[in-house]
Amino acid sequence: MRWQGGRGSGNIEDRRGLGPVGVGGMGVGGVVLALIGYFVFGVDPNTTTQVLGGLQGGAEQQAGQMGTPSDEAGRFVDVVTTSTTDVWSALFQQAGRRYQEPGPTVLYTQATGTECGLGQTAMGPFYCPSDQRVYLDLAFWDELAGRFGARGDFAQAYVIAHEVGHHVQNQLGAMEKSQRLGARGADSGSVRLELQADCYAGVWARHAPEASGGQIALEPGDIEEGMTAASAVGDDAIQRQTQGRVAPDSFTHGSSAQRTRWFRKGYDSGDPGACDTFSAAQL
């Protein structure tokens, strides 16, 4: 993926090295955060929810530095998130809607306060609906490559685009649909929500080069990198790795085959309308 000439917007809050001095109440956002944590590191959603629930109270967080980070890893996040805003703004406009840009993407280390509760590295990247922000500990890139075998900058871009996909869902009402359908199981609302976010990541990938005026370009092997990442974080792959067996009744994000298929569907179609996992008879 060629991104170095891409535009950054500076919509980044860099909290790296700054710890939280308090955390917010859990609420609906905390539940979503807990489920998203499960797909990355095999953290049981119930455990994460208990942690969040036990840390309710007044939220205080040391403010980070706003703007484009000076390091390459931080600039990469800025360019990709800016690209997602360019793509979704154009797609929303085509649909006669206005895209509301998410709050600053937060870069942090180990733990950080959010309006959804305490965000921790063990949860992996996540989106908090309450404050409309994506949270990312960049140490996850090493985990993505080392533990999951998903290497390359496009694999990282897929993760960011997936989380921004949750912001799109937040604006379109998909999160409310998800809650009505349940949080666990192969046909649950959570699985449908996550597969739609994968599809939205594919839609972003399809439009990113044009939306950036050619400043971002996909290179041979990039889509395969994204599909490898999507497959690596499938519920069945995570369960085989962490417990040695697959339990579809406890799925929260979808199988490797499903995640790969929906990402590819979004990329091939370039159409957000093709990502309606909530109406799909077969996931």
Distance in angstroms between the alpha carbons of the first and the last residue of the chain: 29
The pLDDT of residue 26 is 42
The pLDDT of residue 121 is 87
Exposure string over 128-161, b if 16+ CB within 10 A, otherwise e: bbbbbbbbbbbebbebbbeebebebbbbbbbbbb
Residue for token pair 């895209």: 99
For residue range 125-174, list pLDDT tens digits in order: 999 998 999 999 999 999 999 988 999 999 999 999 999 999 999 999 98
Stretches where the chain sits below pLDDT 70 are 21-59
pTM, two decimal places: 0.89
The pLDDT of residue 132 is 94
Cα-based distances in Å from 106 to 27, 132, 138, 145, 245? 20, 11, 10, 21, 35
CA distance linking residue 176 with residue 19, whole number of Å: 32
For residue 119, the 8-state DSSP code is: E
The pLDDT of residue 50 is 39
Question: Which of 215, 159, 218, 192 is closest to 279 using CA atoms?
Answer: 192
The pLDDT of residue 21 is 65
